[in-house]
Structures are given as C-alpha cells and as structure tokens.
Amino acid sequence: MNYQQPSQLQAVILDWAGTVVDFGSFAPTQIFVEAFAEFGVQVSLAEARGPMGMGKWDHIRTLCDIPEIAERYRAKFGRTPTDDDVTAIYERFMPLQIEKIAEHSALIPGALDVIAQLREEGLKIGTCSGYPAVVMSKVVELAERNGYKPDHVVATDEVPNGRPHPAQSLANVIALGISDVAACVKVDDTWPGILEGRSAGMWTVALTCSGNALGLTYDEYKALPQEKLEQERARIAAMFEGARPHYLIDTIAELPAVIADINARLARGEMPQNS
C-alpha cells in the first residue's frame, strides 16, 4: 500500500485565549501580575506576556528566570526563586485564575461565524491551551454558554509535555480520528503555540492582533490608526519569525481565506513540512 498525501484539510486545532475567546489575552496575563504581587514582587503586564502560550507552571518558572524579576525576588526574600517558590506562586495563581476567568470569557468577534463555516466545510474543531484542566473546564463551560463547543479539548496538564512540544495538537489528531497531520492547521496567537503546530507537522496560522502580542482590547485594536497598525503588524511578525508560521492574519475572522488557500496547496501536492 502506497502513501497518499492528503488533498484537503480535515481539522483545525484552535488555541483559546487570544484566538477564540478573550481578545487581547488578558485573563492569564493579568493574573500573573496579581499572583506575583501577593508575594510582594512586581511583575509588569509586558513582562507577564513574554512567555505566553506555555503551561502556567513553566510560564511562572520562565518569568522567575528573567534576571530583573529574579533580582526583585531576591531583594524581597534573600534568594532567587527555587522550583518550590515557583510552585507556591502557581498555587496562588490557580484560584485567582479560576475566580476571574469569567471576566475575560467573551468570544472574539467573528469567531462563531468562522467556526460554523468551517464545520459546513466538513472540518473538525480541536482545541488546546496553556491552561490546566481545572481552568479549562471553566473556560469550556463559559464558551458553551456563548455558543461555542469544539469537538475536542486538550489541557496542558493532560499530556506529558505542553507547548512548544507537539503533544497537545497530536492528542487532538488521535481523538478526532485524523488520518494525517498534514491535513491539520494549528491556529494560535503565541510563538509556543505555533512551534507546537510546526513540531506536529501541521500547517500553522499566527494571529497578530487578537492575542497576546498586541495585547489590546477589540475596541482599542479597531481604533488604531492605520500607520500604527502596520507598525504593530511588522513588530509582531518579527516576533513570530523564528517559529515560522505559514500564515499571519489579524484575527480568526480572516481564517476561511487561509483554509481555502491551504486546500489549494494540498491539492497541488504541497505539504506543510516543506514550506
């Protein structure tokens, strides 16, 4: 039996915050700031956004490894943060996150229409997130109230390794019964999420304006002067460059055109691993 390349997409693997819900990805970032503050350590919103897309414990560990933050911690406690200190911050982060997740649960404009269109085209909808399962259950519940229910959900602590490893995307492939990773597209607003898709052998779409990289509300994004918006797009594209996304778009609202283009490329025999 000979290998046959897929001729069209079978599934879209979507991130959550900054991709389908929570325009600007405020829910996770603001809580990092608050969790560190409860230990008397200042972390700015910009610093908190840096490792976004990782699992939350790894995110906190990465923040604690930033020399400036490590020095603030040392000034407060007389030592740089250990893994036990990271766990203590994480354990404070978790209830704060669950408590406040509803404040940033609104669907991103256009998301429901796009997902409905993708389903009409026969695509399955998988999802994954840097959130652990206990937070994801709340996120999924709130999204369902707003009309969004994907076919599968994988939390970061449901696999051996979270992003940028490919495990979450591949868990979706298995659960959804997809025949080839090249028939999948991973959509995310963070570089770890794009690396996840790349490492899984999928097509990848990076969102430049709805998520962590721009970090604005929808109204603030729409109010940006065109020249400033172009500058921000260029800055964010440079941030994503090392992760090598196949496509860059502002928000999920532009995804259908990308899906059509990928299907055309697959029909011509192109594969994501060669692009």
Q: Give dist(CA 84, CA 93) in Å, integer.
A: 14
Q: Which of 22, 56, 85, 188 is catalytic?
A: 56
Side-chain-side CA neighbours of 67 within 13 Å: the count stands at 0
Q: Which entry of 15, 22, 58, 85 is annotated as an active-site residue?
A: 15
Joined tokens for residue 1: 């039996």
Q: Output DSSP code: residue 54.
A: B
205/188 Cα distance (integer angstroms): 7
Q: How many angstroms separate the CA atoms of 13 and 27, rounded?
A: 21
- Are 24 and 213 in contact by the 8 Å Cβ rule? The answer is no
Q: Would you call 15 a catalytic residue per the annotation? A: yes
Beta bridge partners of 249: 207
For the question of residue 56 being annotated catalytic, the response is yes
Residues annotated as catalytic are 15, 56
